Amino acid sequence: MSTALVTGASAGLGAEFARQLAQRGNDLVLVARDRARLDALAKELSDAYGVRADVLAADLTVDAELAPVEARVRTVDTVINNAGFGTFGKFHELALDAELREIQLNVVALVRLTHAAAAAMVERGSGAILNVASLAGFQPGPSNATYGATKAYVVSFTEAIHEELHGTGVKVSVLCPGFTRTEFQDRANVPAEVVPNYLWQNPPEVVATGLDGLAKNRALVVPGTMNKIAGGFSSVMPHAVTRRVASAVLKRAT
């Protein structure tokens, strides 16, 4: 039986990744800071699907806690780098410590886990890595500057690794969701109420699209028709236009 490791597994997309991977017959390694939530999810999935679900509680922004997760990703078949968080507001008014921690989790931890997993998978000639980014990474995001920049890094980094590992037997994809109904917006203090209902997706459809795209080894996976249109617009328009559009939308929300 294959084993998948999911970071940020205690809630939102991470918990949904764990559920769908269990449904597809994978044993699991669940990683997040909240041990109580992980324990509850592990029991739920073991009882429902008969899979093994190990809990690895860790704060991935702390080197001493990240190191055991690096060691574990070397032994699994699939890695879902989902852990991350965002902040909202003018950069100079936000707490710098939180911005740096955001970079540490969204970028540095993801890079370290991707490196550890890819090295072991290439040696074995098989494996799969899915890095979770965002449509926010397709253009500069005023009032969301650090988050958007970290996700832009994840998109570019993952697409490059995808190309590097062509022919090795290792699949590498980046998933770029748009607005998804999870705890993310509340935690980031994002004024989500101004977003029209038709732009929202739910975790099950986002995760299913991500796992299906990874199975097909697609470099870039964007779930939902509206998100594909928005991503295409952002890709072809100059940043001078897209950053002003993003800024205007956010000003309406504040």
CA diameter of the chain = 52
Query: Where does residue 8 fall: left (phi above 0), alpha (psi -120 to 50 degrees), or beta otherwise?
Result: left
**Catalytic annotation on 147?**
yes
Dist CA 178 CA 215 (whole Å): 21
Catalytic residue among 49, 147, 153, 198: 147
Place of tokens 């970290």: 150
Dist CA 251 CA 254 (whole Å): 5
Contact between residue 84 and residue 133 where contact means Cβ atoms under 8 Å apart: no
Half-sphere exposure of 95 (CA within 13 A, CB side): 7
Dist CA 55 CA 31 (whole Å): 6
Query: In sequence order, which ranges of 94-144 are alpha helices (DSSP H)?
Result: 96-103, 110-124
Active centre residues (catalytic): 147
